[in-house]
Chains A and B, each alone.
Chain A
Amino acid sequence: MFKKQQNRVRIAKALETKRTSTPYAVSVEDLTVHYVTSKETVKAVNGISFKLPKKRTLGIVGETGAGKTTAMLSLMNMVPDPPGKIISGNIQVGGLDIRGLSQSELKRVRGKEIAMIFQDPMTSLNPVITVGDQIAESLLLHQDISKQEAMEQARGMLAKVGIDPDRAGEYPHQFSGGMRQRVGIAIALACKPSVLIADEPTSALDVTIQAQILHLMRELKEENDSSMILITHDLGVVAELCDDVAVMYAGNIVEYGTLEDVFNHTKHPYTEGLFNSLPNIHNRVSKLQPIPGLMPDPSKLPDGCAFAPRCPYATEACKAQAPYIKHFSESHLAACTAYHDEAFAIKRRETE
C-alpha cells in the first residue's frame, strides 16, 4: 500500500516535469485517426485542429459517424487499438503531450485531468458493482485516501448530482436512465478534472430529463472551473451550453468559430444544411429541408471535399481539390473551396 503511494507520487512528479504552461485546456493539431483492418482502412478523423481555452465550452456537432467520438477518445489516448491507430497529430491536455506519455502516466491523467461522460447510461455503468463503489473507484485511483473516506466522498458526489446518498449501496439496475446518467456525471467529476468530455450525454434520455442533466453539467463545470467539450448532434443543446462550436463532417472540422460566428454568420454549406433541417417554430408551414444523400463511407472518402456530393453549391473544383480553409475572423473559419470567390455567400432558410 505504501509502495503504491510512493509510485503515485513519483509518477505525478514525472508528469509535472513534462507539463508546459499554456492558456489552453486542450489543444489539438492535425489529428488523424484511422481504423485499420485487413479489409479496409476507415478514415475516422482526418487532420483536425482546434484549441479550447480554459473554462470554455466547445460544442462538437455533426452526424453520426463524423468522427466526433473517435476524436475525443484520442484526447485520452483511448481509441480502441486494434483496430484504431492515431496516425499523426499533436494532442495537448493541460499542457501535457498525451501521445508522449507512458501507460502509467496516462492512468494518472485519465480521470484526474480529463474525464468523460458517456452516451448511454444504461450500458456505461458496471452492473455488478454498487454505484457508490463505482464513484469511489475514481477517488481511490487518484487520491491517497482510505476506502471509508472515498465512500464518504462518493456519497457527497451523489448528493451533488441530486441522488440520495443513502442509495450509494444500490446497483445500477435499481436506477432510472436519468439517474444513471447522474451517476455517470458523478463518476466523471469525482476528481474535479480540468477537462470534461461529454459524449452525447443526453441523447439516450427522455426529453424532460435532458434539460435537467444539461443544467447539472453546466453547474458542476462552473463550480470546478473546468473546461468542457460537448459532443452532440442537437443544435439546441449547443446554443444552450457552448461558447465555441466545431462542425465536423467525415472526419474533418468544416466550420469552427464562436457560437455567434457559427449560428449567426454561418459560412459552410454543411452547417447551413444542418440549420435548414431544423424545424422552425415561428414558421410552421415552411417545409424541413433535409440535406440530400448520405455521408460518404469513411473507408472510401472522395478526393476533394467530402461534402461536395451533397452540396448544392458544389463545382468541379470542389471535387478535384482539398477544401480551401478560409479565415473570416480570428475566431471563425470554414473549409470550403467556394470562398476562393470573394463574392460567394450561402443562404439560410430563414432569410428567404
Chain B
Amino acid sequence: MLKYIMKRILAIIPVVIAVSFIVFFIMDFVPTDAAVTALGDGATEEELEYYRDTHGLNDPLPVRYVRYMAGIFHGDLGTSYANQMPVWDLFFDKFPNTLRLALASVVVTVLLSLPLGILAAVKENTWVDTVCSTISFVGLAMPNFWLGLLLIMLFAVNLHWLPSTGAEGFKSLILPAITCGTGNMAALTRITRSSMLDVLRQDYLRTARSKGQSERNIIFGHAFRNAQIPVVTQIGIQMSTLIGGAVLTERVFAWPGVGAFMVDSIQKSDFEVVTGFVIMLAIFVSLVLLLVDVLYALLDPRIKAQYSKN
C-alpha cells in the first residue's frame, strides 16, 4: 500500500512536466510583451529592452523553459510582472482560502446530497424519491451568482447575521460555501441514489435481514458501505474542480481565492502568475485524485488487495 502511494506520488512529476510544457508554450504564443506589463505604457524602448535582457525574456524558448522548470524544484515560480511579488508567495497567499472554501463547499454538498440520495434510493419511485430529486435539481438550476446575491441580501443586508464579503473567520465562510455547495448537489445526489439502488438489490442485504438486523443498520451498515466508491469518486471530481477556484462565487463574495486572482492576472497579461498557478493547481489536483484512490482501498478490501499486488 505504501509502495503504491509512493509510486503514485512519483507519477505526479510527469504530469507536472506535461502541464507546464503545455501552459508555457501557449503563453509564449500570446502576443503580449511582459516588459510592457511590468513597466507600463510610458516606458521607453531602451527601458523595455533592458528589462527583457535582464529578465531573460530574449532567450530562446527551450532555454527559458528549462530555466523555469529548474526553478520549480527550488520553490521558485518566477515573479509577477504586475506587482513584482514572487508567484510562489502569491499562490500560497491565495490557495489556503480556496482550499478552505472548497472543503466547506464539499461538506455542504455531502451533508445535503447523501441523505437525499439514500432516501431517494430507499423510497425508489415514490413521491419521496421525486421530492428528493427535485430538491437536488433546484440547487443545480439556480445560478451561483444569483443565489449568492440572494443570500447576501437576506443574511447580510436584511438580517445582519453574516458578513457579505471577505474571508475573516468561520462566519464569512458560510454563505460562499452554501452558494458553491448547492450547485454540486444534483450530481452527487444522483450518483448516491443510483449507487445505492445498485447495492439495495444485492443478496447480502437479504442475508443481513435474515439475521434479524434492523432496516436502518442494513441501509447504513451494509448497503451504504458498499455504495461509497462512486460517491467518493464524485466528491473527488468536485473537489478538484473547486480547487481550481470557484470564480463566480469568489467574485460575488470578494473571496480572496486563486480563481478570481487568475482571471485578474489573465486580464492584466500577468502570465508568470498564470503559468505558476496552473502548474501548482495541477499538482494539488493530482494529490486529490491520489487521495481518492487511497480512500478506495480503505473502503473496499478487494481494491486494497489489488493495490498490494502491483
Contact = CB atoms under 8 A, between A and B. Distances in A.
A126 B299 CA distance: 13
A171 B301 contact: yes
A126 B217 CA distance: 13
A137 interface: yes
A127 B300 contact: yes
Contacts of B213: 107, 137, 141
Q: B202, B226, B301: which has the most chain A beta carbons within 10 Å?
A: B301
B3 interface: no
B44 interface: no
Interface stretch (B84-92, B108-116, B137-145, B204-212): B204-212
Contacts of B206: 78, 118, 124
Q: B207, B212, B301: which has the most chain A beta carbons within 10 Å?
A: B212
A107 B222 CA distance: 16
B210 A111 contact: yes
A120 interface: yes
Given A123-B204, A128-B301, A171-B302, A137 B210 contact: no
Contacts of A123: 202-204
Nearest to B125: A82
Contacts of A138: 211-212
B291 interface: no
B211 A187 contact: yes
B157 interface: no
Interface string B202-241: 1110111111111000000010011000000000000000
Nearest to A78: B209
A22 B74 CA distance: 84
B203 A110 contact: no
Contact of A125 (B207, B214, B301, B302): B207
Nearest to A197: B210
A129 interface: yes
A184 B206 CA distance: 12
A128 B211 contact: no
A115 interface: yes
Interface in B288-307: 299-302, 305
Contacts of A76: 210
B203 A124 contact: yes
A108 B208 CA distance: 13
A116 B226 CA distance: 22
Contacts of A115: 210-211
Contact of A173 (B204, B209, B301): B301
Nearest to A141: B212
Interface in A177-199: 184, 187-188
Interface residues of A, number: 31
Given A126-B222, A128-B225, A128-B301, A110 B209 contact: yes
Nearest to B207: A124
A109 interface: yes
Nearest to A110: B212
A137 B208 contact: yes
A56 interface: no
Q: A108, A128, A141, A188: which has the most chain B beta carbons within 10 Å?
A: A128
Nearest to A138: B211
A143 to B, nearest CB: 11
A237 B76 CA distance: 76
A112 interface: yes
Interface in A58-116: 76, 78, 106-112, 115-116
A342 to B, nearest CB: 46
Contact of A126 (B212, B214, B226, B305): B226
A123 B305 CA distance: 19
A55 interface: no
Contacts of A126: 204, 207-208, 222, 225-226
Contact of B212 (A127, A142, A171): A142
A147 to B, nearest CB: 14
A3 B211 CA distance: 21
B210 to A, nearest CB: 5
Contacts of A124: 203-204, 206-207
A39 B262 CA distance: 58
Q: A110, A124, A173: which has the most chain B beta carbons within 10 Å?
A: A124
B302 A127 contact: yes
Contacts of B302: 127, 171, 173
Contacts of A129: 222, 225
A110 B210 contact: yes
Interface in A4-45: none
Contact of B226 (A111, A112, A128, A187): A128
A184 B207 CA distance: 9
Contacts of B211: 110-111, 115, 137-138, 141, 187
B129 to A, nearest CB: 13
A137 B213 CA distance: 8
Interface in A137-169: 137-138, 141-142
Q: B202, B204, B210: which has the most chain A beta carbons within 10 Å?
A: B210
Which 3 A-B pairs rank lowest in CB-CB distance, beginning with the nearest?
A111-B212, A110-B212, A123-B203
Interface of B: 202-204, 206-214, 222, 225-226, 299-302, 305
Interface of A: 76, 78, 106-112, 115-116, 118, 120, 123-129, 134, 137-138, 141-142, 171, 173-174, 184, 187-188
7 contacts: A118-B207, A123-B202, A127-B226, A127-B302, A141-B211, A173-B301, A184-B207
